[in-house]
Amino acid sequence: MSQLLYRTPSIEIQLDPLNEWLYVNWVGNQTEQSVREGATKILDYVQQEQVCKVLNDNTNVTGMWGGAAEWVGKELIPALNAVGLQYAAWVYSPDIYSRLSTDSSLQHVAGGVIVLPFDDVETAASWLRQM
């Protein structure tokens, strides 16, 4: 059973002890500020819970959040790697503008963490379990 660690109207972070990962559910229209605030919490919980995997679910995200895309790829991902993250499964939103923002973030990832995008949570979770 997952344990709720953090919740706001724009993000929910759960610890999945069975799979030993964080499940992050982003919700609604994201801004650069909401992305940075939520991502900072993810960083805190990756370190606190000592997990090396994150299932990052954008299924419920709407709209562009491209203002934070470069920061996510160039600063957040390396910071997550520094505290132990090795694998991230990133589930696309069906919203085309959110997908474009995700793709922009992924273009800025330089290495350290293996980050792969997926179209659904089930496929993402299956891949993450194998890592």
Q: How confident is the model at residue 1 (pLDDT cuts 50, 70, 90)?
A: confident
| Environment class of 44 (CB within 10 Å of its CB; exposed 0-12, middle 13-18, buried 19+) | middle
What is the rounded CA–CA span in Å between residue 113 and residue 97?
24
The CATH number of whichever domain residue 48 belongs to comes to 3.40.50.10600
Q: What domain range is 102 assigned to?
A: 3-130
pLDDT value of residue 110:
82
**pTM of the shown model:** 0.94
What digits encode the pLDDT tens for the residues 7-45? 999 999 999 999 999 999 999 999 999 999 999 999 999
Q: How confident is the model at residue 66 (pLDDT cuts 50, 70, 90)?
A: confident
Count of domains forming the chain = 1
What digits encode the pLDDT tens for the residues 35-56? 999 999 999 999 999 999 999 9
Q: 48 with 81: CB under 8 angstroms? A: no
Question: What are the backbone angles phi and psi of residue 12, rounded to the nearest 5°?
Answer: -130, 130
What digits encode the pLDDT tens for the residues 91-118? 999 999 999 999 999 998 987 899 999 9
The residue written with tokens 């929910």 in the block is 12
